[in-house]
Structure 1
């Protein structure tokens, strides 16, 4: 039952995912959560690291699309700054936002990767949609009020999954061995 929350990979940060790793997996597009995955939840400004990572993806013809449960206004503001396509109000973990992204951008499930910091929304949604997923550590230790309950539940689920799947370890890239 809880295996629907298990990510394909666990990587410490989205910035550790390289075009080479994505090509090895035949990934042509990255769906990324916004808050605490791509940028801090409480700051609409992207870091230099974020901008460099996005530029690297663009240079390598890997499409980056923000898939967020947040509003069009919030996501659109950041997407405009970063010059990215986006799907707001995605209602993750339901398939609606995932399907909209696939349809709107002409993507195939096996060529897409979802990256997010929450197993309840991002990972479960990707698994339900049949898309590979990467769980990343949140950029900040703090969360918006509406995410705090999810974090409490996620901790219980993660403890269970790690106990049942000793291979679930944080890594420095998609193909690295575990990190400390």
Structure 2
């Protein structure tokens, strides 16, 4: 049960996930949570670092697709300035959104990675879908009210994870295995 929460990788920032490292892992597509992963939940414009990272993925031929629990209107408004495709109402921690997007693209499970900032939704959904996962630190330390309960529960899960898996640590990038 506890392993459902364990990410494949823990990288401090999404901007440190390099296309060449993804390709070396056989990853052909990145699925990403939206709020506090790609953009701060209270600032939908994104950052120059995000745009540079998106460009590096695009240049490498790696699509980036947003997988969000938010409704279609909210996600469409948020990603419109970024020009990203998305799946809304993905029902994370269930696997529906990830599986739907993966099958639509004709990709195998090992060719996809799910990036997110929450154990309770993003990491569990990745496990449920059978894809690898990257946990990143939230862009900002505040959350929408709907996420605050998850963060409370997440603290308890973290204690158990650290006790069970002593090798869990934040990495600088995918190759930083201490």
Tell me if both proteins adopt one fold, taking TM over 0.5 as the criterion: yes
* Aligned pairs for 1:159-170 within 5 A: 159-170=159-170
Report the 3-state secondary structure (helix = DSSP H, G, I; strand = E; otherwise coil) of the residue aligned with 2:66: strand
Partner Cα distance (1:47, 1:74) in 2: 19
What residue is the counterpart of 1:41 in the other structure? 41
What residue is the counterpart of 1:32 in the other structure? 32
* Aligned pairs for 1:6-155 within 5 A: 6-155=6-155
Which TM-score applies when normalising by structure 1? 0.96
Partner Cα distance (2:124, 2:63) in 1: 22
Give the number of equivalent residue pairs.
178
Cα offset for 1:104?
A: 2.0
Unaligned runs of 5+ in 2: none
Aligned CA RMSD, in angstroms, stands at 0.9
Partner Cα distance (1:89, 1:128) in 2: 16
Range that drifts further, 110-119 or 73-82: 73-82
Which TM-score applies when normalising by structure 2? 0.97
CA deviation map 1:39-91 (0-9, x unaligned): 00111111111111001100000010000001111111232211111101101
Report the 3-state secondary structure (helix = DSSP H, G, I; strand = E; otherwise coil) of the residue aligned with 1:142: coil
Partner Cα distance (2:77, 2:6) in 1: 31
Report the 3-state secondary structure (helix = DSSP H, G, I; strand = E; otherwise coil) of the residue aligned with 2:35: coil
Unaligned runs of 5+ in 1: none
Partner Cα distance (1:142, 1:159) in 2: 21
Cα offset for 1:118?
A: 0.3
Partner Cα distance (1:108, 1:177) in 2: 25
